[in-house]
Chains A and B, each alone.
Chain A
């Protein structure tokens, strides 16, 4: 019954060269972030002041050098990447599931239901984001999970609006009318006939969300609201690197380039996915 384009989509994504390279880079980075730290003889939190601000060298496996407290940057960068990727994936997953479902249901229902659901979104929008985060921090213990909640909470709002707009135009299309005439229940119409046709837009928007989530996370970490020392993320490492830019440029350059590579790879992958998910573009 589910003749969706998804299965073919994954095959299709492996098509374009840029897409293949991006996917490869992301896989390598993910594997490195997962297993790299445990292979090194160093850890991410031990300080070693005599060896502070050492440039990258192959001696003693200090591949990325050390930071201002003498901690090993290779391990810190990889474990920071792990946190960054996790934030990006969880935040976009929240935005995907919640935003698409909420927007599609509001758009298809229309009328008063739609107005009510979208006013809730507007109300959440009106809350100042930083205020919300501080409030969460005060209400609960300072917690790693809170960052995910906070970032997911703002991202799904945009997604819901975009999906609702698309749904409004899709539901006037004749294939939806045909489904109604057959007697397909509304919930099934939304998830079988409307949502699969939205995937192109959604995927493009997700590729915008991932970099945004990564940037928001580093911003929160900078304010001391996000990830806490000695744990770190790519954003936090970049912020730390900025203050030692002149004496130890590697502290900035290495995490910043890695961040840039991750962001670009996600963008290319998003472009490829969008083309693959659109059945009309297949076979070109």
Chain B
């Protein structure tokens, strides 16, 4: 008998014509890891919630959920609560929301243990500490007394896993457990799950949109599309011989670092954007009696961008890449350094730049829906920049301009009358790109422009940008945390760490032979959509320090190749073999 057996699960809502999950069958054996993949809206999370009995009351659920031969459907909440606690547990995407902000981590764990009478009051503390150690939280005594906001994202997710494991369940459902984390931290958390499975024999239902995560962590996988089962089988078989067309598309859209990038548009030698020694500092709110301090988030960064070139900027969250983007376009004023566009030095703030300069430097934001005004229709949103920069155009000429850019963006003209909330994420991002492109800028800065989108949609947006680049010789600064995206579209890659450049190299060189240990760690942390590959368990320990820059090389506390010199002396950016790298050991290390 399987540990979990779901038969003919159908979930529907009165407001929706189609069921969100339609006659789904799935089963999990003891100790097995099953990956549930699908794009957003495919019904993955609804399935998990149905198994847990956590669906909203107005959802209609049909079909059977058998846990260890025991029907879970139609039980009272009180019974389910007891049953669930000891046998199945769930970890959510956002640990910040799943943990109680007013309770210390230890206290939350203790309450769970006492509520379900796992231990008595006297033994609770020791058991909590043991759980915290088991999820490899450093300094368990201190974490016991920490509040959730005092922990980093990765540590919070570990605490969440400790909470889920408190009652020693037999099945753990993890819903996108690492989507909100950086790749390096994602690798750490996934490795923890692997080790816990080996230790306790717990079964895992891993829900994710990332085929790489499934390939590296699950023996069996199940693909979903629009609420229906797409395909299931052993991970190796599905990757090798996908039966469905849709699965093939999903696999093709899963970008891989080991695949050579497609042909990118040619680059001219003409520099269009020149950034010299740019620094951004933020003033921190004064705490208590301390004097107000400021924190450097971008430090003396320089680079240039040629016409028609794509520069990828990568780094973990908090490395200053978004602040850099905002300083380039002038949304925040840089504290030092300069930005020049076609040889003209730009004012620090966008308000002080000339209309021509503004027009030539445009930006696309991460959240496509938030970057469109909710009260304006698509037509007005795209027409606004035209009306502003070319007021002499007649209404017809303006409408023609809007229609043309919309066509190039692959959008139907009927969308002009829609409001942003009526668009899908991909459509909204195309509208945001159209608004920027309608001005025919020379440089477009994309800040995580595809991070919120699903694999196939992401692919089509990248294709759109490349087509535009071929057409008009547009230069792109593409900021992302996703190395696979950078691999596909960029000519050169800039790796940022704590506000500075760790490495700046050609796409081919960087991926073939990283020169900086940090680049190397980032590369090997990316989950590859290739079940044959044996991934490196934990490419880099720890997380980016929240405050306080370490002396010497900023990366040295996490670096595997650290020397005494790295702790004292800040490495300068220098050329090694045609690559700009800031590492003392760049020549001697072979990081392939």
Contacts and interface: CB of A to CB of B under 8 A. Distances in A.
Same complex: yes
Interface of A: 1-5, 173-175, 177-184, 186, 192-193, 196-197, 199, 279-280, 282-284
A154 B359 CA distance: 44
Contact of B388 (A175, A178, A183, A279): A183
10 contacts: A3-B375, A174-B370, A175-B373, A180-B350, A181-B358, A182-B439, A183-B358, A193-B373, A196-B373, A279-B375
Given A178-B432, A182-B388, A183-B359, A1 B380 contact: yes
Contact of B374 (A179, A183, A280): A280
A196 B358 contact: no
A257 to B, nearest CB: 38
Nearest to B356: A183
B365 A174 contact: yes
B384 A174 contact: no
B401 to A, nearest CB: 14
B362 interface: yes
A173 B432 CA distance: 14
Contact of A282 (B330, B331, B419): B419
B435 interface: yes
Nearest to A2: B380
Nearest to B385: A182
B367 interface: yes
B389 interface: yes
Contacts of A279: 374-375, 419, 421
- Chain A contact residues: over half helix, strand or loop, or mixed? helix
Contacts of B419: 5, 279-280, 282
B234 interface: no
Interface residues of B, number: 39
A175 B431 CA distance: 12
Nearest to A182: B385
Interface of B: 15, 329-331, 350-351, 355, 358-359, 361-363, 365-367, 370-377, 379-381, 383-385, 387-389, 419, 421-422, 432, 435-436, 439
A183 B389 contact: yes
A19 to B, nearest CB: 20
A184 B380 CA distance: 13
A-B pairs with lowest CB-CB distance, top 7: A3-B377, A3-B380, A196-B375, A174-B371, A174-B365, A175-B373, A182-B385
Nearest to A194: B373
Contact of B350 (A4, A181, A199): A181
B370 A197 contact: no
B549 to A, nearest CB: 26
Given A4-B375, A175-B371, A279-B419, A182 B329 contact: no
A198 to B, nearest CB: 9
Given A182-B388, A182-B439, A280-B421, A175 B370 contact: yes
B375 A182 contact: no
A199 to B, nearest CB: 8
A177 B359 contact: no
A177 B367 CA distance: 12
A3 B329 contact: no
Contact of B373 (A197, A280, A282): A197
A193 B556 CA distance: 46
Given A197-B373, A199-B375, A280-B419, 18 more contacts: A3-B375, A3-B377, A3-B380, A4-B375, A173-B370, A174-B370, A178-B363, A178-B365, A178-B432, A181-B331, A181-B361, A182-B385, A183-B355, A183-B359, A183-B388, A197-B374, A279-B419, A280-B421
A174 B446 CA distance: 13
A175 B331 contact: no
B376 A178 contact: no
A224 B499 CA distance: 68
Nearest to B371: A174
A186 B362 CA distance: 18
A219 to B, nearest CB: 37
Contacts of B371: 174-175, 177-178
A186 B359 CA distance: 17
Given A177-B365, A178-B365, A282-B419, A1 B373 contact: no
A197 B366 CA distance: 20
